[in-house]
Structure 1
Amino acid sequence: MFMSSNAECRYFEIFKSKCLFSGPRFSQEPADQSVVVGERVVLSCVVFNYTGIVQWTKDGLALGIGEDLRAWPRYRVLRILDVGQYNLEITSADLTDDSLYECQATEAALRSRRAKLTVLIPPEGPVIEGSPEILLTAGTSYNLTCVSRGAKPLSTIEWYKDGIIVEGAHTSTGVLADRKRVTTKSFLEIQPVDTDTGRNFTCVASNLAAQLGKRATVTLNVHHPPTVILSIEPRSVLEGERVKFTCQATANPPIMGYRWAKGGVILDGARESVFETTADHSFFTEPVSCLVFNAVGSTNVSILVDVHFGPILVVEPRPVTVDVDSDVTLNCKWSGNPPLTLTWTKKGSSMVLSNSNQLFLKSVSQADAGQYVCKAIVPRIGVGETEVTLTVNGPPIISSEPIQYAVRGEKGEIKCYIASTPPPDKIVWAWKENVWEKERGTLLERYTVEQSRPASQGGAVLSTLTINNVMESDFQSTYNCTAWNVLCLSLSDISFLSIIHVSFSDVVPVDIIRSVFDLDVASVGNINICFMPISLCLKYGVCMFMAVSLSQI
């Protein structure tokens, strides 16, 4: 039976309530220790007041007696009898030394505490799978894998990118067959970009046996489509000037070629990194693009040219025809650079009606009909303008000199101008008992009527009654020019669709008006008015009836 040093006092004296030992006891017992494989370690054991046999056990197995333990060539007992020292020395520690050790004074039946000797093993040099260089594709994620084998305790792995620590790795471990050493794998997901070519990733594996760590490095070779920068010189040009485009590109693997296009149309013959041409206004809206390609893919970039040019008509205004009281929108669109100023005016007037692409006219009348000018000004570059015609449908508008002149015995002409949209369907001349209502022809032997459209009258119809061999009686008549269009046609049995205004320089015989127009007539002074139902007057507008006199010169 073994007894610890302080279990009892076999030999003692009682003096002032103290127990004084006089038998064997451990004054120093082995402690738990760690040793790096290959290094030396000493386990302490000092027995006080003992001269008998002392031995060491390893996991309960006696190692032998004496200083040199022949069965254990790396083990030796360091004995100093004077002080009772029996230390156990282990040289070149290896994994087999990783055990529990106990010092025993057999003759005194003494056992020390059990001491745990832990043998530390540094990891083998880590390995990054795919090293020394990994071929990757830009934009495609990849897991870098670092393997650290045979460490005890397990190793910790850290990652560095060009010397800067990288977080986010995850690990897995596996125990080896000896159940003591561990293999650690670390996985670092990366998203390679084109600029990562040549960058180094390093993994460092460390544990208590290799606190400075062991490292492995891999270099990235990232394949990527070309990275392109498209520049232009000069940045701003006048239309007609030369401009140079430069396509700067880097790629891995190397660039295989260039292709240029304008507005999506391939420019034949442009196959180099530089393209020169003469700029026109189309370069302002149709981008020039440079496509660069290699074995991995292609990259296409484009740029617009800041071309300064004068006004160019983009949307041609179209003539508009509307009825009276309608709302009208006229459209006109110009392009220019720098930004242009746009104005709408009516031809013959300087009043600006609009500064936008549209001119809106509300409830137009026949007075609004005519030419409208859409004008664009690009500062310091140029001016452009275009015209658009507004036609307002309405009853004919007749204009004529109330007194016209002729010479007796010669040919005389009486002119009547009819502005009408739509064009007049019928023009009638009446005087005395005579009525002329054919488009062209001769009435009686001395009278001829002709119609024309003089350019100076803006499209108005000129109806001319020609009198050959003017006689005295011709000066005694009043000549009436009457015109109407579809707006004055009857929808049923009504001869006219509006009141007919009659202006006379002399009284017109009422029977002529009745015979021509089949209307009721009343006279007020020297003005005769043709009457019809007021509801129709308000609905269909006005027809004009003009009477003129022929005076002798």
Structure 2
Amino acid sequence: MIYNCDLPCSFFLSLLSVLGSSVVFIQQPHDLVVVAGQPVTLPCSITGYHGMVLWVKDGLALGVNRDMSGYPRYDVIGDHSKGEYHLLIQRTELTDDGSFECQAIQAATRSRPARLTVLVPPDDPVIIGAPVVSLRAGDSLNLTCHADNAKPAASIIWIRNGEVLNGAAYTKTLLRDGRRESTVSTLHISASNIESGQQITCRASNKAAPNGKEATVTIDIQPDLGEKKPWLCQSGLFIFLLCFCLLWIIRWAKRGNMITDATGDTYEVLVDHSFFTEPVSCEVTNALGSTNISRNVDVYFGPRLAAEPHSLQVDRGSDAVFSCAWIGNPSLTIVWMKRGHGVVLSNENTLTLKGVRQEDAGKYVCRAVVPRVGVGEKEVTLTVNGPPTISSTQTQQALYGEKGQIKCFIRSTPPPDRIVSSIYPSNYLCIQWSNISEIFKSTFSGQIYLNHLWITGINYVLKYIKLKTVHLNFGNISQYYWFYCILIK
């Protein structure tokens, strides 16, 4: 039976005398296997026949004689005068996979069917995580390799140091074209069977790639510094820090500075507050390079001053702002108070006093409390600039003919530039000084120490003494204040 190939009816009308003659296939197509991309030739030679020859694939006509215009990669070659109608397929593709026949239409005969199998090599295998897979010391290793788009499905083996590793699991997935497959292999290696620097190879092969394609991964074992959480300890205690790695050089550092006396995998140190903010790092170097892991030590320590507060001197009516900062672990509480008072003024790093008055002057305390660990405090002074105050007892006594002393007490912020003391009438005694830290002689051999007026050899009656402070610099304003002291015999 001849295939119905939808050719023009004229192809089948004249059978001539050929039907009675002897038509023999000298060469017939046979089963072939070819790798995609390579050329292939399906032979067909018919003796004693000079009619039309038709190539058919999977029941569909490809073309008559040499006419393969619908298939640019197909060509009919050979000497037609000798009955040669070989089918050449250039750069075979997966779509060429199928059954082929050569038919002598006018002789109503055909060749035996031939199966053309097109093989597809797998894509380059891929190891997840390659080229370097990092592990912590003591962890097991799981590797996954996949080789995709192969026909037939690729076989995968794992190789280490030239030896095949057993125990891998495999899965295959048929792709949507119904021809190609993808293969996934998973390999598990226990921690005791792994060494840093080892190379493990995934080799994928099939009939299209018998020598296989390879991918390689290098195992890098990182040092283990224990838990990821910070180490917890009390300030002033010794701790042991461990850095475990099989290979090779270990270096310890704190805040980036090398610790020269720590070279092994254990570092013993007396911790203080600095370990809370300055991480300890362990660097391990092997043939693949260096790996560095840092950890903080969760040190419990009492308050430590990070920013010291400063005393202030402000004008009356101005604002006074104090600042102090503490660090401590666990979290601390800050309290601002005035010395001698029980009122909390602030729980922040900053204390602000609005429009200060003279009575706001005094000592202020910034106190930090770390629960169950410790307390720290810092004292500052607030000085309020204002008018001076002068005080003296109304009556001061001295023995006639003896050394006498007159006292007046001056309190002033800022200090006065000049203080003048005078005794009325002026022809008895007049003493004056311009710097309260110096001593001056008087006309009556009296001595003045600061705000004390000494009179030697009293042999007259002093009716009264008039004291005054002059030229007080306060807010760029010069002010004068008068006070009186009375001396009675």
The residue that corresponds to 2:389 in the other structure is 398
Q: CA offsets per residue over residues 91-134 of structure 1, 9 Å max, x none? A: xxxx9xx9746699xxxxx944424522345859x699899xxx
1:199 Cα deviation from its structure 2 partner: 6.1
Q: 1:298 to 1:471 in 2, by over 3 A?
A: same
Write the mapping of 1:29-68 to structure 2, written as runs, cut at 5 A. 59-61=45-47
Question: Is the 8 Å Cα contact of residues 102 and 110 (structure 2) preserved in structure 1?
Answer: yes
Write the mapping of 1:267-416 to structure 2, written as runs, cut at 5 A. 267-395=259-387, 397-409=388-400, 410-416=402-408
The residue that corresponds to 1:467 in the other structure is 455
SS for the counterpart of 2:244 is strand
Q: 1:422 to 1:196 in 2, by over 3 A?
A: same
SS for the counterpart of 1:229 is coil
The residue that corresponds to 1:448 in the other structure is 447
1:353 Cα deviation from its structure 2 partner: 1.8
Q: 1:309 to 1:147 in 2, by over 3 A?
A: closer
Q: 1:311 to 1:361 in 2, by over 3 A?
A: same
Instruction: Show structure 1 runs of 5+ residues with no match.
Output: 9-23, 25-31, 38-56, 64-94, 105-109, 149-153, 170-183, 189-193, 208-212, 452-462, 491-496, 501-543
Aligned mates of 1:488, 1:156 — CA distance in 2: 99
RMSD of equivalent CA atoms: 4.9
SS for the counterpart of 1:270 is coil
**Match 1:427 to one of 416, 419, 425:** 419
The residue that corresponds to 2:189 in the other structure is none
Question: Is the 8 Å Cα contact of residues 247 and 274 (structure 1) preserved in structure 2?
Answer: yes
TM-score, scaled to structure 2: 0.60
Q: CA offsets per residue over residues 206-247 of structure 1, 9 Å max, x none? A: 79xxxxx989585734154x5233237993221110111112
SS for the counterpart of 2:243 is strand
Give aligned-pair identity as a percent. 31
Give the letter aligned to residue 454 of structure 2. T
1:230 matches 2:216: no
- State the aligned residue count: 362
Give the letter aligned to residue 447 of structure 2. T
**Match 1:480 to one of 464, 467, 476:** 467
Aligned mates of 2:372, 2:44 — CA distance in 1: 104
Question: Is the 8 Å Cα contact of residues 403 and 551 (structure 1) preserved in structure 2?
Answer: no
SS for the counterpart of 1:364 is coil
1:242 matches 2:230: no
Q: Tell which deviates more after alignment, 427-436 or 481-490.
A: 481-490
Aligned mates of 1:388, 1:238 — CA distance in 2: 31
Q: CA offsets per residue over residues 272-327 of structure 1, 9 Å max, x none? A: 12211110111111111111112222122211111111222222222333333332
Aligned mates of 1:220, 1:488 — CA distance in 2: 82
Give the letter aligned to residue 320 of structure 1. L
In our comparison, the structure showing a higher alpha carbon Rg is 1
Question: Is the 8 Å Cα contact of residues 334 and 376 (structure 1) preserved in structure 2?
Answer: yes
Q: 1:412 to 1:236 in 2, by over 3 A?
A: farther
The residue that corresponds to 1:548 in the other structure is 485
SS for the counterpart of 2:384 is strand
1:258 Cα deviation from its structure 2 partner: 0.9
Q: 1:198 to 1:442 in 2, by over 3 A?
A: closer
Question: Is the 8 Å Cα contact of residues 203 and 217 (structure 1) preserved in structure 2?
Answer: yes
Q: Tell which deviates more after alignment, 408-417 or 425-434.
A: 408-417
